[in-house]
């Protein structure tokens, strides 16, 4: 969660002079522009570090916009751990009837592909990554006539909110939002002083 607020209210009121009553409007417009930019930029910044589709990031994010009464905006990401299939995996499809191939996965761009010896892809409400549980297993016949070893468990990568909390990602997002806010604030102040 990143919050943008009206800590500059007094400064803006002084700069507006006789138009000081318009300070809340100037601030909430600038804050909302910065919040919208932060949401858009979050997708780009996360994808610089993680191998993930833009839609997976956008779907977790909401903006609570500023108003003239509440001069603060909040950008929040909510979501659970993502299945490993949401990242880069090879092979990406199930391989029924073929010898097992070591599944490789890449979650972060700086880490490269990593082999997971006991993992495999299965079509369970779409292709998903699983691993056979260690210890005692039992065999069960599947609907396609093949046998499988149970139990199995699904494998997950980090949730989007954790990716956004990555120190490098978060600091770049906050710096860019601050720049957009300052630039938009200047524009809004100028607009009021010029009578537009």
Dump pLDDT digits (tens) for 82-103.
999 999 999 888 887 776 678 9
Instruction: With a cut of 90, say whether residue 188 has pLDDT above it.
Output: yes
pLDDT of amino acid 107: 95
pLDDT of amino acid 137: 54
Query: Is the domain of 7 the same as that of 58?
Result: yes
Q: Which residues contact 111 (CB under 8 A, 6 or more apart)?
A: none
Burial degree of 105 (CB within 10 A; 0-12, 13-18, 19+)? buried
Are the CB atoms for 114 and 104 separated by under 8 Å? yes
pLDDT of amino acid 8: 77
Per-residue confidence at 183, pLDDT binned at 50, 70, 90? very high
- Number of separate domains in the chain: 2
Which domain covers residue 101, as residue numbers?
84-154
Query: Is the domain of 49 the same as that of 88?
Result: no
Instruction: With a cut of 60, say whether residue 80 has pLDDT above it.
Output: yes
pLDDT tens, position by position, 36-51: 999 999 999 999 999 9
Query: Is the domain of 23 the same as that of 70?
Result: yes
Query: Is the domain of 176 the same as that of 136?
Result: no
Beta strand 152-154 pairing with 88-90: unpaired
């Amino acid at each position: 969660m990143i919050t943008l607020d009206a800590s500059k209210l007094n400064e803006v009121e002084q700069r507006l002079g006789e138009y000081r009553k318009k300070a809340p409007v100037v601030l909430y417009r600038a804050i909302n522009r910065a919040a919208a930019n932060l949401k858009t930029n979050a997708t780009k910044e996360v994808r610089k570090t993680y191998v993930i589709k833009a839609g997976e990031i956008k779907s977790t994010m909401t903006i609570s916009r500023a108003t003239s009464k509440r001069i603060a905006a909040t950008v929040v990401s909510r979501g659970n751990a993502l299945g490993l299939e949401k990242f880069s995996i090879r092979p990406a499809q199930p391989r029924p009837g073929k010898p097992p191939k070591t599944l490789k996965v890449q979650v972060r761009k700086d880490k490269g592909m990593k082999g997971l010896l006991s993992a495999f892809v299965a079509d369970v409400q779409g292709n998903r990554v699983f691993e056979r549980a260690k210890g005692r297993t039992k065999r069960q016949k599947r609907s396609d006539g093949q046998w499988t070893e149970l139990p199995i468990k699904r494998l997950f990568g980090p949730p989007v909110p954790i990716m956004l909390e990555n120190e490098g990602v978060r600091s770049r997002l906050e710096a860019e939002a601050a720049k957009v806010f300052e630039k938009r604030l200047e524009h809004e102040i100028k607009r009021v002083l010029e009578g537009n």
